Structure formats: C-alpha cells, structure tokens
Amino acid sequence: MKLLSLYLTLLLGSLVHAAPSESTSNIKESIIAPRGWVKRAPAPSDYAIELRIALPQPDFDELERHLYEISDPDHHRYGKYLTKEKIEEISSPSLASINAVRNWLVSHGYDEEYLSASSTKDGFRIRVPVSQAEEMLNTKYHIWEHTATGKTAVRTTAYSLPEELHVHVELVHPTIVFPGIRSMASSARLIPDIEVSTTNSSSSGGVDPVCNNEITIKCLQQIYKFVDYRPSADSGSRIGLTGYLEMFANEQDLQSFYADQRHDALNSSFALVSVNGGLNSQNLSEAGLEANLDVQFGLGLTFPLPGTFYSTAGRPPFKPDLLLPENTNEPYLDWLDFVLSHPNPPQVISTSYGEDEQTIPESYGRAVCKRFAQLGARGVSLFFSSGDSGVGDANPDPTTQMCKTNDGHNTTRFLPAFPASCPYVTTIGGTHHFPEVATSFSGGGFSDLFPRPSYQDDAVTEYLEKLPNGTYIGLFNKTGRAYPDLSAQSNNFAVFLGGVKRHVQGTSASAPTAAAIFALLNDARLRQGLPVLGFLNPLLYKIRNEHPDAFNDVTHGNNPGCGTQGFNATQGWDPVTGLGTPNFEKLKDIVLSMK
C-alpha cells in the first residue's frame, strides 16, 4: 500500500534556516492573464498566502475504471461504491513524489516537525509571505485588478520549479488561477416582478396554467410527475447545497417560502456545515439570492429528507491594505478537500456556480475534475448548472460577448463552462413554459479541455450527424465532452429574499431542481434496500437508449451567443437541453427494476 501524502502547516516565523538545494529551475506553468485583468503593483512582500502543492495521482486510470464499473447498470459491480479509505489508497501520490516535494520544502527551511497527515492525502499546504513564495517559485507576485468589477487578486502569470520536481507536482495554487469574472458567483438573476395570472396562459398534461407565469414547488411536482410521491425522512437519502464567498441562506426567508409553498415543512430547516470558516449570517439584508434559491427549492422539493447547506469561505484573513480590499482565493479545492475527508457526505450535491473553461489553467481544471471523480466513486451524484450565457462567455448579454480565445491569438470561439464541462458531473441546462422550450440562456456546448467520454458517444454522434456540413466550423470542439446532460425549468422561480417574494431565472434554478428529483429517486431505492444511484451519467445515457420516454424531449429553442443563434434544441440529445427533462414516474420504475 502506498504511503499517504502529507499536510504541511507552517506558522509564520517558524522557519528553520537551510539553504535551498542547487538545481535548475524551469517554468512549470504559465498563462496569459485572463481578459480584463490588469497588473497594478507588486504584491507586498509580507502579504501572507497559503500555497497548496498538489501531487499527481499516478493511478487515476485505476480510479476511473472503478468509477465506470460501479456506475454502469449492466456491470456486476453496479452500486458497489468505494470507501473513503479505498479512494485514498488508490489516489495517494507515489512515495517518490512525496519524498521529492518534502525534500524540496526542507531545503527551503521547512523542518519535518511541521509535517502531518492531510485530510485528503494528496499534497502539502504551506502558509508563507509573498517574499518566500517568490523565492521558492522563482516568480513575482503582483496585485491584479479586474477593470470591469474592481475585483483584486494577488497572482502571478508563471512560476518555476526545479526541473526534477515537475513530474512530482500537479500544481501550485494560488499562482496562475485568476478569480473568474463570476468568481464562485451565482448564475441566478432577479427578474422584474410579475403579475401571476392564468389569463392568456395555457398548459396541458395536468400542469396548472399558472406555471407558465410562475414556478413553484407544486408546478415542478406537476411538470416532472411526482405530485403524489412521499419520501421518508428515515430512508437515508440526503441532499446537499453549496454556497461560496459569503452567500448566506436565510432561515426566516426559508420559513416564509414554506408558508407560501410548502406548509407541511414549516419549522424544518437544514444542517449548516462550515468549510474553511464559512459563515451563514442571518441578517435579512445579507440573504443571498443563490443560497436562498438553492435551499428553498432543494429542500422544498425533497421534504422531509435531511438537507445540508455548505458555507465555504474564500477570503481567509490577511493584512489589510488599501490596494487589497479583498482576498479572492478560489474555494473549489477547499470544499472538495473538506467533503472528501468526511466518511458520509450527502449522496446528492448541487452547485450553481461556474467559470469560462478557458480562464482556468489546465492543471487546475484536471485537479478539480479528478476529485469530482473521487466523490462519484463513493456514490455521490454531483449536479452543476450549465451556465447562463448560451454558447458564449461569462457575459449573459449575447450581443456584447467577446467570444475570443485567451491564448494570445484572439480567435473567435464558443466558450464552454467549467465545472459544467467535467465528465464526472451531471450538468443541467434550462427550460421554461409547458410544454417545455429551451431557455435562450441555457449554457451548452463542447469542452476544449476534456475529451468526450464514451458514455455519451452514441447520443452526441447522432446529434453531430444531423448538423449541416460546415455548421459553426472551427467554433467548437466536436470531440470534446458535450454538455448539458439534462435540463429542467429555470425561469420565474418564486423565492423569498430579504423578507420579500421575488422571481428568479437561471440554470441556478434548474440544477437544484434536478438534484432534488434524483434525491427522491435515491429515497425510493433505499427504501427497497437498493444502493443510491451515484455518478449518474452512464446510467442516464443508457436509459436514453432503452427508455427514451423517461425524459421529456425538448425540441424547441436555441442558445444564442457569440453573434450566432447557437445550437438548436432537437429530437434526442442536444447541447441546449441535453437528454431532456426528467419524468419522475418513469424513472422511478426504471431505477427500482435495477438490482
């Protein structure tokens, strides 16, 4: 069994003086600063940063093999998920990598007495002043500012390591990972107040006509056919919702929502889990739109299943400075570290945040995605919103999108989103009205970072064969991981925010909706003594082939951007609504028939 990696915590001032070893230092990673970021000044030498030194997982192919076998309903290992300990054993860095990085740290003055086991067993952390980080990484940190938002960050555009260390280090963070324009920010948007009326509204299939004007718990139960389903609080099925960067879920707003839409849930709540010192202020003026949306609909749809809200901080303490009004370390890896360190996380977790894929370094994207795979192998279904920019960049207004590559060539290109493009998560696009039509903002497309996984080969090939020759040639990667996988309602959601009923749109609404439906399917399976569904995508695409009526196929609408009409929703899978929206009744029959 491999040695587990180590975690290093070093208090400032506790250095052991030692001369760094003589070695040739070569650039490990470099980027062109993402568009909109401007270098303002050198970072203060005593500014404290926490460096994460992630080590490679040499047996990731083995982990991926396990993941696909236990996620394939036709495989004899289906549902036989791995334990936390087994995941750590498979994912542990090699002894050679551990020793190489340890020796390098010791050569820079870090005594071994400060080494201890990490929660995720995959690297080191070190809290140092900028001056020390610059010496170790042969780089210069600067204060960067995003001109459109005023956001600041301490970053560099290149760093170096001794040549012999390159194969032993996956990434050093934060170095070249810039906070995105939407840095862990919600894709949910308030929309003007609407007058809810059935006038001039029509619907069908047992769906109240008012659902064309306003989406409520009752509407979603009707549209996706689980009005009469009653989950059990004791089944063991649980749902988790994530919040980042002081996005708080308000208890008073939740009770107002229940009073309005789910009377039987009144006085129930969620378990709050703080990650990295995350808080959850209950000041109504600090209620978060995204957090309230996720918690109100995620819990409202699944009551009485237990729910967890993760509040992950991303602004660790730092020395105040006029040039540094905030610290914007991206907290994805912190949240993953935390969840992976726990033996029994919720089996369904929804996240409604994302970035343009091209704004993240390849090493960072792959590191995050591999850790999503670890959660999947433990039986966790991860849902992410597909984004609200159609085929374009982070700007939701398709008429002002840049849609240019950030590689120095400024090539016109559709811009996929991350983590939506990770093949180990289930990505959810957006619809509205009933019968359902794709929303124009529904994010979708093809990854430039991750190749297309085999589970979606048939569905995506079928779609591409229907595209006229030359359609958007050069604008997207036909062989990339395609998304979304599914979709759900994403417009006119009635939520309470700061004590007031408001209406929201965005795939931020569709992600917790889909997650809730699969938490209910887990409930149904657990009550029959069956394992939860885990990583869903191989199952979803097989169901599409064998039981296409389990999804409501969405064949109208498109997702414009980059000066184009984007892709069209069509019969079968498409890069606007995926396989369609879930039919709970049919899916329940299918998943209960699988042993």
**Do 132 and 267 belong together in one domain?**
no
Q: Tell me which residue has tokens 């779609």.
A: 463
**Do 141 and 226 belong together in one domain?**
no
189 occurs within a structural domain: no
CA distance 295 to 347: 16
110 occurs within a structural domain: yes
Q: What is the pLDDT, as a whole number, of residue 316?
A: 39
Q: Per residue, what are the HEC states of 1-69?
A: CCCCCEEECCCCCCCCCCCCCCCCEEEEEECCCCCCEEEEEECCCCCEEEEEEECCCCCHHHHHHHHHH
**Do 400 and 542 belong together in one domain?**
yes
Is residue 168 within 8 A of residue 54, CB to CB? The reply is no
187 occurs within a structural domain: no
Backbone dihedral region for residue 465 (phi beyond 0: left; psi -120 to 50: alpha; all else: beta) = alpha
Residues belonging to the binding site for Ca(2+) are 553-554, 572, 574
80 occurs within a structural domain: no
Q: What is the pLDDT, as a whole number, of residue 184?
A: 39
Biggest CA pair distance of the chain? 78
**Total residues found in the chain within this entry:** 595
Is residue 539 within 8 A of residue 590, CB to CB? The reply is no
Task: State which amino acid sits at residue 236.
Answer: G
Q: Which domain holds residue 122?
A: 6-57+92-173
pLDDT of the chain, 595 residues: tens digit per residue? 333 333 344 333 334 344 444 568 899 999 999 888 999 999 999 988 888 899 999 999 999 999 999 999 999 999 999 999 999 999 999 999 999 998 999 898 876 544 444 555 688 888 889 999 999 999 999 999 888 878 888 999 999 999 999 999 999 988 998 876 454 344 567 776 655 554 444 556 789 999 999 999 999 999 999 999 999 999 999 999 998 877 899 999 999 999 999 999 999 999 999 998 888 999 998 889 999 999 999 999 999 999 999 998 864 333 334 344 344 455 778 899 899 999 999 999 999 988 889 888 899 999 999 999 999 999 999 999 999 999 987 665 666 667 888 887 888 999 999 999 999 999 999 999 999 999 999 999 999 999 999 999 999 999 999 999 889 999 999 999 999 999 999 999 999 999 999 999 999 999 999 999 999 999 999 999 999 999 999 999 999 999 999 999 999 999 999 989 999 999 999 999 999 999 999 999 999 999 8
User: What is the domain count for the chain?
Assistant: 2
Residues belonging to the binding site are 553-554, 572, 574
Q: Tell me which residue has tokens 């001794």.
A: 162
**Do 219 and 349 belong together in one domain?**
yes
Is residue 558 within 8 A of residue 569, CB to CB? The reply is yes
Q: Where are the alpha helices (DSSP H) in 378-456?
A: none
185 occurs within a structural domain: no
183 occurs within a structural domain: no
Q: Which of 173, 200, 224 is the last residue of a domain?
A: 173
Q: Which of 119, 146, 173 is the last residue of a domain?
A: 173
CATH number where 304 lies: 3.40.50.200
CA distance 395 to 397: 5
**Do 458 and 536 belong together in one domain?**
yes
**Do 288 and 153 belong together in one domain?**
no
CA distance 441 to 386: 10
- Candidates 124, 160, 146, 134; CA nearest to 46 is 134
**Do 45 and 146 belong together in one domain?**
yes
Contacts of 426 (CB under 8 A, 6+ apart): 381, 382, 383, 384, 485, 486, 514, 536, 537, 540
**Do 548 and 415 belong together in one domain?**
yes
Q: Which of 140, 173, 206 is the last residue of a domain?
A: 173
Residues linked to residue 385 through DSSP beta bridges, in sequence order: 428
**Do 243 and 161 belong together in one domain?**
no
Is residue 52 within 8 A of residue 123, CB to CB? The reply is yes
For residue 201, the Cα-to-chain-centroid distance in whole angstroms is 35
Rg over CA atoms, the chain: 24
CA distance 419 to 430: 16
- Candidates 329, 449, 441; CA nearest to 393 is 441
Quick one: tokens of 78? Answer: 């289906």
pTM (predicted TM-score): 0.91
74 occurs within a structural domain: no
**Do 169 and 220 belong together in one domain?**
no
Residues known to be catalytic: 290, 294, 508
235 occurs within a structural domain: yes
90 CB-side CA count, 13 A: 22
Q: What is the pLDDT, as a whole number, of residue 152?
A: 85
**Do 397 and 485 belong together in one domain?**
yes
DSSP 165-203: GGGG-SEEESSS-PPPTTTT-B--EEE-------TT---
**Do 227 and 135 belong together in one domain?**
no
Q: What is the pLDDT, as a whole number, of residue 371?
A: 94
- Candidates 572, 578, 403; CA nearest to 482 is 578
